Amino acid sequence: MPRRLGRSPRLRVGGLLVLLGPLLLAGCAGDYVARTRALREAYQGEDYPRALDMLAGEEQHGHPNDQLLVLLDRGMVLHAAGRWEESIQVLAEADRLSQELDGISVREEAGALLSNERQRAYRGEDFEKLMISVLQALNYAQLGKDEDALVEVRRVNERLRRMVVEENKPYEQLAIARYLGGVLYEDQREWDSAYIDYAQALELEPRLGPLAEPLLRLAKQTGREDAYASLLQRFPDLPHEPLGRGEGQVVVVVEVGLSPEKQSARRPYQSHAVELITVPVYRDRSTPPRAQVSGGADWQPAVTVTSLGQVATLHLEDRVGRMVAKQLAGAVVKAGLAAGAGAITKSEEVGYLTFLLLNLANEPDLRSWLSLPAEFQLARLRLPAGRHTVHVEVGGRVTSREVEVRPGRVSVVVMRRYY
């Protein structure tokens, strides 16, 4: 017959709940996604002052484990609001904190084994760390600081190189970073470097369509005859005449839609295993609409250069194996603690309750940088030098921005659209 719990075991159970209470409640206290729902609604409604006020409150009163997410969201809100200098400062702070958190302590890692990943400071997914530099490059480009923008583009490419070569991760270069590098090099008249980055972007995203125009033009200009012939076969109807003396270019970057969101999913510990483990997976929140861009009378569709849904899923899938191993290790630790509690109290029920309570918190970390766009869509315009108004239509809504077109130069215009 099962052992009856007397007064002493009950007291011990109560003490156990007191000890485990903070551990179990920490996951709820650290639910940044649920806590900032109203903030995201303000951001997506383009009420940027309200969103920033709410972020200030979150920074002051929120959970310290969410500090990186607060910085990332604030940097993105400032970026979307066109407050480029402020966004640069905040994202630089986020980048520094992310690097510090990468050196996570053994003590914090052990705490995560006893509960879950929500018990520790959010460090960011690999692709989110790369997105910091992509946004910084766009911020600098909007300020006309090509050299600083190129520094950030090079950082993206170098970080990815290390992840792929040194850490053996199944990633690839980001087409948006490579294409932006081509734009910046072209603006500085570094034709060879521009061609190389454009070519890499085309390799990563073969469906560039009209965005491949500078590749043909620069292949011919730099004497790459074989490459030019191959490109001409691939894009036989794509106009690529040299720029006229009074012409310039505008590259319109439209950050469209809502980035994917993490949800819980059940997976086996290993192939053919019956036991299931809970892991995060990315789910799309919307289908990004296609932007239309105009610098005058004619409209042209923007081209998706990078889908963050695809990038996020690839990066997270690579981490799932390590997460499974960690949860298995956590299960062993919890079983040992439960057995110890049962032995000390001489109660099988206390041991079982201990294991049950420890596993109640066994939920994956569903935090992520939700203010990011779903896609980076680009369009290129060739316009006479002077002041022009660029129009972007997404989902029936038209937004306009003025831009100065300079002879022989490439200007960058960034717009954020949500639905």
CB crowding 84-111: b at 16 or more within 10 Å, else e:
bebbbebbeebbebbeebeeeeeeeeee
Q: List the one residue out of 40, 41, 109 whose CA is nearest residue 69.
A: 40
Mean pLDDT value across residues 259-283? 73
- Whether 89 shows a pLDDT value over 90: the answer reads yes
Angle at 149 between CA 191 and CA 415, to 5 degrees: 105
In the structure encoding, which two tokens stand for residue 178, read together?
């490579």
* pLDDT tens readout for residues 304-327: 999 999 999 888 888 766 565 555
What per-residue confidence (pLDDT) applies to 23? 47
What per-residue confidence (pLDDT) applies to 351? 53
- Whether 45 shows a pLDDT value over 90: the answer reads yes
Q: Of residues 82 and 279, which shows the higher confidence score? A: 82
Q: Of residues 41 and 359, which shows the higher confidence score? A: 41
Q: Of residues 332 and 180, which shows the higher confidence score? A: 180
Q: To the nearest whole percent, how much of the chain has pLDDT over 90?
A: 65
Mind spelling out the 3-state secondary structure of the chain? CCCCCCHHHHHHHHHHHHHHHHHHHHHHHCCHHHHCHHHHHHHHCCCHHHHHHHHHHHHHHCCHHHHHHHHHHHHHHHHHCCCHHHHHHHHHHHHHHHHHHHCCCHHHHHHHHHCCHHHCCCCCCHHHHHHHHHHHHHHHHHCCCHHHHHHHHHHHHHHHHHHHHCCCCCCCCCHHHHHHHHHHHHHCCCHHHHHHHHHHHHHHCCCCHHHHHHHHHHHHHCCCHHHHHHHHHHCCCCCCCCCCCCEEEEEEEEEECCCCEEEEEEEECCCCCCCEEEEEEEECCCCCCCCEEECCCCEEECEEEEEHHHHHHHHHHHHHHHHHHHHHHHHHHHHHHHHHHHHHHCCHHHHHHHHHHHHHCCCCCCCCCCCCCCEEEEEEEEEECEEEEEEEEECCEEEEEEEEECCCCEEEEEEEECC
| Residue 78: other Cβ atoms inside 10 A | 24
DSSP lists the bridge partners of residue 251 as: 380, 412
- Whether 115 shows a pLDDT value over 70: the answer reads no
Angle at 212 between CA 382 and CA 79, to 5 degrees: 70
* pLDDT tens readout for residues 366-401: 999 999 999 999 999 999 999 999 999 999 999 999
In the structure encoding, which two tokens stand for residue 110, read together?
């052990």
CA separation for the pair 402, 383 (Å, rounded): 13
- Whether 338 shows a pLDDT value over 80: the answer reads no
**Confidence label for 6 from pLDDT (cuts 50, 70 and 90):** very low
What per-residue confidence (pLDDT) applies to 2? 45
Q: List the one residue out of 297, 295, 290, 192 whose CA is nearest residue 250.
A: 295
* pLDDT tens readout for residues 289-303: 999 999 987 899 999
Mean pLDDT value across residues 14-19? 50
Q: Which of 39-43, 80-84, 292-296, 362-366 has the lowest mean pLDDT?
A: 362-366
Mean pLDDT value across residues 123-144? 96
Global pTM reads 0.84
Mean pLDDT value across residues 71-79? 98
